[in-house]
Amino acid sequence: MRVVLQKVKQASVTAENYFQSIDQGYCLLVGIGEQTTDEDLKVMAKKIANTRVFEDEDGKMNLSIKDVGGKILSISQFTLYANVKKGNRPSFTDAMHPDTANKMYETFNEYLSSYDIDVLPGVFGASMDIALINDGPVTIIFESNEGKIQ
């Protein structure tokens, strides 16, 4: 599992007849790989919920999203599993099949929500427009394999 976390001042997702937006929080790009397990979903949700990248009163990144009352905009992103080693056209064979990936994506969002964080999803499998104002900028790549953060 791979997740790109961007700390945002504002973020939104638009798809056909669909719109969600948040102010302070995270915009997550969520990739579910062929080898992703439920344990990966759990450890990633816990790690992201507790990551401290928001500034405290001294300007030090010492607060979590829960501490600042932030929200999460979670976007499914199978292209995080693009393999570009051969040729010029990326291969996505390392991404999980959409039927299974969708359920895992929903479960991941539920795990995040269990930490008392508002999680707003994108539209799985849809063409979406994502807009955001990155705060910092802070962008962190998380990866989990076999239930362990890499």
Beta carbons within 10 angstroms of residue 125's beta carbon? 14
Residue 60 in contact with residue 16, Cβ under 8 Å? no
DSSP state of 1: -
Taking the C-alpha atoms of residue 44 and residue 150, their distance in angstroms, rounded to an integer, is 10
Among 54, 78, 108, 142, the active-site one is 78
Cα atoms found within 13 Å of the Cα of residue 8, Cβ hemisphere only: 22
Query: Does 78 qualify as catalytic in the annotation?
Result: yes
Taking the C-alpha atoms of residue 31 and residue 96, their distance in angstroms, rounded to an integer, is 9
Query: Does 79 qualify as catalytic in the annotation?
Result: yes
Among 36, 54, 77, 142, the active-site one is 77
* Pair of tokens at residue 85: 């080693």
Taking the C-alpha atoms of residue 17 and residue 136, their distance in angstroms, rounded to an integer, is 31
- What phi and psi, each to the nearest 5 degrees, are found at residue 122? -85, -165
Among 79, 100, 139, 150, the active-site one is 79
Query: Does 6 qualify as catalytic in the annotation?
Result: no
Active site residues per annotation: 77-79
